[in-house]
Amino acid sequence: MIFLRRLSPILSQMSKRKLSDYEGFRNVLNKSTNIVALTGAGISAESGIPTFRGAGGFWRTHRSADLATLHAFQVNPALVWEFYHYRRTVAFSAQPNDSHKALAAYEQICKEQGRKFSVITQNVDGLHRRAGSENVIELHGALHKVICTKCRTIDENFDNPICEALRDRGDPALQDINLPTIDKKDLPRCKKCKALVRPYIVWFGENLDPKVLEQSRELIETCDLCLVIGTSSVVYPAAMFAPLVADRGQPVAEFNLNSEPANDSFEFHFPGKCGSTLPKALGVTL
């Protein structure tokens, strides 16, 4: 009896979680008026974008995370810019996949019906906007933007290469010792004051833009359905967004490769490639 009493809450929680319940999810989806999709690296992996974590977390002999810091940029801005030139080239060459397209298509459906649909992404590749999504919050910045280290001007820049010194650089197969050093004066410069610019990326150890964080907080506190797509839910503050929605008693649906949900409080879980599960769940034809 004691064992059964302890097991009962677990079984109850499992019964609440709907695995690949497309019909049940669409019933909830169609009734929702303020939907938020929280996306991570997994949604862009299907477009060929390498991830920071796991086996793809290295660039040459460097851990990618070690280059994504202000300290690394201060010590060796040329190396960091070469890494980001590679990342920009990959992102600019990639195409939005069916996951991105499905979210953009469903946003338009919501727009026509007077409902609200927003994307909060941890990704910096710009694929959501290129797919047609309009209401996008980029938590960690964007690869197509730069910010001046002096006057703090933020500019969009789709040039590839972003400067002549970085042409044909960034190949992860090339070792640092085989490459000539790039002079700091030849690195990307601010169009306004000509000072050195850096990628407009929130690096490890830096805080999110307060305005961006406030916009995200407002969406999380008011949405009536949250979709968690291709994220491991381990990077804060984004990791707490979906659990906060669930704590308010609102449904959360998770889409990722894992067979088990990241959080037991999530109501729906759809394992598999997001490019297949997400269009089906949203009921959009691409």
Q: How far apart are CA 224 and CA 245, in angstroms?
A: 8
> pLDDT-based confidence at 52, cuts 50/70/90?
low
Last residue of a domain, one of 186, 201, 216: 201
Point out the annotated binding site.
40-59, 84, 87, 122-125, 148, 151, 190, 193, 230-232, 256-258, 274
Q: Is the pTM of this model over 0.85?
A: yes
Query: CB within 8 A of 167, min separation 6: which ones?
Result: 161
Point out the annotated binding site for NAD(+).
40-59, 122-125, 230-232, 256-258, 274
11 found inside a domain = no
pLDDT above 50 (res 107): yes
Q: How far apart are CA 161 and CA 168, in angstroms?
A: 8
Looking at the structure, tell me whether residues 120 and 190 fall in a common domain.
Answer: no
Helix (H) or strand (E) holding 156: strand 154-156
5 found inside a domain = no
What digits encode the pLDDT tens for the residues 122-165? 999 999 999 999 999 999 999 999 999 999 999 999 999 999 99
Last residue of a domain, one of 162, 185, 201: 201
Looking at the structure, tell me whether residues 71 and 192 fall in a common domain.
Answer: yes
pLDDT, residue 117, reads 98
Residues noted as catalytic: 140
2 found inside a domain = no
3 found inside a domain = no
Looking at the structure, tell me whether residues 89 and 165 fall in a common domain.
Answer: yes
How large is the C-alpha radius of gyration of the chain? Answer: 21
pLDDT, residue 138, reads 97
CA distances from 240 to 44, 115, 121, 251 (A): 21, 25, 14, 15
Complete DSSP assignment for 231-265: --S-STTGGGHHHHHHHTT--EEEEES-SS-S-TT
Looking at the structure, tell me whether residues 214 and 262 fall in a common domain.
Answer: yes
What is the pLDDT averaged over residues 59-86? 94
What is the pLDDT averaged over residues 181-207? 96
Looking at the structure, tell me whether residues 30 and 87 fall in a common domain.
Answer: no
26 found inside a domain = yes
Looking at the structure, tell me whether residues 228 and 281 fall in a common domain.
Answer: yes
Q: What is the CATH number of the domain that holds 275?
A: 3.40.50.1220
* 3-state SS, residue 51: coil
Last residue of a domain, one of 185, 201, 217: 201
Q: What distance lies between CA 31 and its chain's CA centroid? A: 26
Q: How does 251-262 read in b/e, with b if 16+ C-beta sit within 10 Å?
A: bbbbbbeeeebb
What is the pLDDT averaged over residues 246-274? 90
Helix (H) or strand (E) holding 188: none
169 found inside a domain = yes
pLDDT, residue 233, reads 63
Residues 139/208, Cβ–Cβ less than 8 Å: yes
Q: How far apart are CA 233 and CA 236, in angstroms?
A: 8
Looking at the structure, tell me whether residues 239 and 275 fall in a common domain.
Answer: yes
Q: What is the CATH number of the domain that holds 170?
A: 3.30.1600.10
Domain count within the chain: 2
What is the pLDDT averaged over residues 266-276? 95
Looking at the structure, tell me whether residues 136 and 273 fall in a common domain.
Answer: yes
pLDDT, residue 53, reads 59
**Residue-number span of the structural domain to which 184 is assigned:** 50-93+141-201
218 found inside a domain = yes
Point out the annotated binding site for substrate.
84, 87
As beta bridge partners, residue 196 has 189
Looking at the structure, tell me whether residues 54 and 189 fall in a common domain.
Answer: yes
Looking at the structure, tell me whether residues 62 and 128 fall in a common domain.
Answer: no
Looking at the structure, tell me whether residues 150 and 77 fall in a common domain.
Answer: yes
101 found inside a domain = yes
Looking at the structure, tell me whether residues 56 and 146 fall in a common domain.
Answer: yes
